[in-house]
Structure 1
Amino acid sequence: MKKAKLFMDTVVDIQVVASGKSADRAEAQIDRAFAAFRQVEQACSRFSPDSELMMACRQFGTPVPVSPFLFEPLKFALEVAKWTDGVFDPTVGGLMEEHGFNRHYLTGQTILSPSAESVTYRDVIVNERDRTVLLRKPLVIDLGAVAKGFAIDLAASELREFDGFVVNAGGDLFAGGVDESGSDWEIGIRHPYHKDQIVQSVTVSNEAVCTSGSYERKSAKVPGTHHLLHPKTRRSPNVWISCSIIAPFAMMADAMATAAFLLVENRGKTFIEQTGTKGILITPALQIVTVGGI
């Protein structure tokens, strides 16, 4: 069984191998999986003024209680920021707005939020005991590098009873169990220049595959800039055109793909090895570099 819906600016496809399950049962579980995307989008969207994230961003200097749907991906994003010494930084929301990445995919509404000139992940304090977020300065948090992966993981947890399933959100996915033939899932990595072609394929089971690429979203305001912005140089690196990560969880793969892209070359490859993940990195000249035993 397969169904698709639109969430988080992308088409989400869910496929299950439902042998021995009724069609009604399969459909109900798929709907529960889609509900996870709805909850995460409502919590983490930078493009909706009434999202939990943006309401929290309008309050600084005071702790704000938040739901797990915001707290967990934010906490993880801050951890990755520490691992990368701020090269991966969820406080780049204001910088992204300045570069024109501020339009809601459904309404077309644009936003421009007040943000201090100099902010880093260190300006965001999370309290695990009280599950609160405190901003030291006016800033805009962007969870685009973790929220989709988090939603994929929550959706996958609703589908564990099936022999196999795939939750695919615009090419970022988790593949559980086996396919209809009883084999591991074969997943294609999109060609950076030809969206309908595959440049590499991998075989996975109970793993996530997520990709960050400079071809995905270009700035209409700043020539030569894409949505992957280095928070320190305030520019888009172009050593790689695509970074794909294979990891046990989609939120991890999602974040690592962005981090590896921003760290560039040897630092990015070392980071993949240190985190125990696997990577497929592609240069603009289409040279493919594999890391982590692929």
Structure 2
Amino acid sequence: MKTKSILPLFLIFCLTISFSGNAQVLRKRSTVLMGGRFDISIVAQDSLSAEQNIDNIIAEISRIENLISDWKPTSQVSEVNQNAGIRPVKVDKEVFELTKRALYFSKITHGAFDISFAAMDRIWKFDGSMTEMPTPEAIKKSVAKVGYKNIVLDSVNSTIFLKLKGMKIGFGALGEGYATHKCQQMMLAKGIQSGIINATGDMSIWGTQPDGKPWNIGITNPFHPGEITAAITLKNTAITTSGSYEKFVFFNGKRYSHIINPATGYPATGLCSVTVLGPNAEMANGFSTSAMVLGKKEALKLLNQFPEYSCILITDSGRMIKSKNFPKHLLKKYQ
């Protein structure tokens, strides 16, 4: 359903030390977790504290990964998948609630977002090897095991049951958004008032740079991925981007992206980038993922129902469209 671009969002300006009266330090570290790159930036009173808290964040993300990653055979999600069509599986409340929220997104997007996309057959190839479109029969078969309505949750027993053999669930980038938000809340509880956790384009941002200025976040130009098309100055918010501009094919003059509509099996068309701002990275990720599949009209219609969240859409033709509630004063063309 969604594959992250390498760096669709990234920090533009970083200060290492502020020389104000209340000097603080900024420490950064990059690592690979949950199948993707995490860039962690923490502002603290001293280097030791900052590094220790980065260690705490990495440990928490690793814990979440071991709990929900469908590619780890020992995770609870893998156990759910292994018992598809056989029996319900009891999971921790954390996994149950995350699944419940993912199903909520599936319902409000009418399947444009669907955590059972993990069972989809990978019949579309975006490595240059595909010379013709898959047949309608092959496409239909590829999503035969996909369908959020076949996921049964039992809140009393905290179980998840997949009705069909061969079904699978996987949180993908939604899990990354969940992890960044949870780690942000953990840092705030520890008294860390400023930082950024960037999970390959899913960012939880809080506080300011050491000099008190907002963080500057760059949005990749989808037509020139090495360039920045705009910058957003942010203090306390989440920002996520979904993009289809790195992997796509053309058939009969039409562009087909690597982001597949889980309800139909066909690639999403019309949009090449969606950036969403809001208070929660998990929710923002669900919206950016869904918007890519829904297309411009339905995506804006969906976001308008949630005034805490706003978006920037970039169409395949290069047009930039902002939702009505987008805080335009935060956006500036990058020079």
TM-score (norm: length of structure 2):
0.76
Does 2:323 correspond to 1:291?
yes
Q: Return the index of the structure with the highest Cα Rg.
A: 2
Trace 1:1-294 onto structure 2 (pairs within 5 A). 1-18=27-44, 21-60=45-84, 61-95=86-120, 97-99=122-124, 117-138=144-165, 139-160=167-188, 161-216=191-246, 226-276=257-307, 277-294=309-326
Whether the aligned pair in 1 keeps the contact of 2:43 and 2:50 (CA below 8 Å) is: no
Runs of 4+ in structure 1 off by over 6 angstroms are: none
Amino acid of the residue matched to residue 183 of structure 2? Answer: A
Deviation at 1:245, TM superposition (A): 0.5
Paired with 1:137 and 1:235, the residues of 2 have a C-alpha distance of 22
Structure 2 residues without counterparts, runs of 5 or longer? 1-26, 127-141, 327-335
Identical residues among aligned pairs (%): 28
Pair 198,232 (structure 1): closer, same or farther in 2 beyond 3 Å = same
Aligned-residue Cα RMSD (Å) equals: 2.3
Pair 144,217 (structure 1): closer, same or farther in 2 beyond 3 Å = farther
Deviation at 1:100, TM superposition (A): 6.6
Give the equivalent residue in structure 2 for 1:105. Answer: none
Matched positions, count: 276
Paired with 2:243 and 2:211, the residues of 1 have a C-alpha distance of 31
Whether the aligned pair in 1 keeps the contact of 2:80 and 2:88 (CA below 8 Å) is: no
Whether the aligned pair in 1 keeps the contact of 2:111 and 2:262 (CA below 8 Å) is: yes
Deviations along 1:213-271, whole A, 9 cap, x unmatched? 1135569xxx9654421122211112000011101010001111011111112111111
Pair 148,32 (structure 1): closer, same or farther in 2 beyond 3 Å = same
Secondary structure of 1:29's partner? helix
Give the equivalent residue in structure 1 for 2:21. Answer: none
Amino acid of the residue matched to residue 162 of structure 2? Answer: L
Deviation at 1:99, TM superposition (A): 4.3
Paired with 2:148 and 2:218, the residues of 1 have a C-alpha distance of 34
Amino acid of the residue matched to residue 31 of structure 1? Answer: D
TM-score (norm: length of structure 1):
0.86
Deviation at 1:151, TM superposition (A): 0.8
Amino acid of the residue matched to residue 127 of structure 1? Answer: D
Deviation at 1:196, TM superposition (A): 2.7
Paired with 1:71 and 1:88, the residues of 2 have a C-alpha distance of 18
Paired with 1:253 and 1:183, the residues of 2 have a C-alpha distance of 24
